[in-house]
Amino acid sequence: MIKIGIVGGTGYTGVELLRLLAMHPQANIVAITSRGDAGLPVAEMFPSLRGRVSLKFEDPAKANLAACDVVFFATPNGIAMQQAPALLDAGVRVIDLAADFRIKDIAEWENWYGMTHACPDWVEKAVYGLPEVNREQIRSARLIANPGCYPTAVQLGFKPLVSAGLVDCGSLIADAKSGVSGAGRKAETHILFSEASDNFKAYGVSGHRHLPEIRQGLASMAGASVGLTFVPHLTPIIRGIHATLYAKIREEADFQALFEKVYANEAFVDVLPAKSHPETRSVRSANTCRIAVHRPQGGDTLVVLSVIDNLVKGAAGQAVQNMNLMFGLDETLGLCQLPLLP
């Protein structure tokens, strides 16, 4: 059994980790931390876990995280970079669900996140945890930078085209929509029910923190810098990301066959038949990305539709997928739940 600690278990990604790990046959959760809720039974905060998680939240300063095999950080940005180095030095593996180790350019990270990085030396050692791209590096990694939700949907959607050099990588467009849970479990005006319900809006058009992460990943696939316009939107749903991706064709190919070949052996990427339109509800609560590729009116622009559950494949599920790889387990272990419908 893998001894697991979770730092910051009171948010949506934290409870999603708990849900998935409580059903994982090789997972033994031994510590869950929260400064503000130390001493509170986890199942009292999250009744859905009653009978499956008997732990209480602990003060991070008192929890014996160094005795764990792996520690997940489901914390706001800036926390893992403060606490992870001591755990790594103690031989504990770390999976960070925030953005502290995702961007290799420290100056760019500091510019986007507005703080000085506390351990830049570990950024270079971290492995970006997108299994469909970095599977072999993940297996031997000590520190995983778990991808963001938008970056997961966008990169998986563009990957076959960008890696093959078939599209103009200087003019990529990602038009993406997210459910309200992507904003986290907190009280803010714009995500109140009466504000977000029956409404639809773009945000972060001038620049979103996930933009440099997506550009970095796509540039690695392309072997050169890329030009990307990324516009996120808030939708009145709880879970789900729908990314509509646009790319100008440079070289002709059977694009449907290309996507099917690239993802033929990927357990968590489902390429739909031609002319399909994936829905966010088709992946709700599952660690799956569903993709469809279109060529409207036979023109020079490809449209790729990519959907994920932002809390699962976009966060906690992908983190568990990475844990499985790190500990030599079947990659799908504990992650074969079917989507919920309706």
Active site residues per annotation: 149
Q: Are strands 93-96 and 143-145 parallel, antiparallel or unpaired?
A: parallel
DSSP state of 79: S
List beta partners, residue 200.
none
Rg (CA), the chain: 19
- How many whole angstroms separate alpha carbon 208 and alpha carbon 229? 10
- How many whole angstroms separate alpha carbon 320 and alpha carbon 32? 16
Specify the 3-state DSSP secondary structure of 261.
helix
- How many whole angstroms separate alpha carbon 108 and alpha carbon 284? 33
Query: Any idea what the Cα angle at residue 272 is, between residues 225 and 248, rounded to 5°?
Result: 30
Q: First and final CA of the chain: distance in angstroms?
A: 34
The pair phi, psi for residue 31, each rounded to 5°, is -155, 135
Query: Any idea what the Cα angle at residue 150 is, between residues 195 and 132, rounded to 5°?
Result: 155
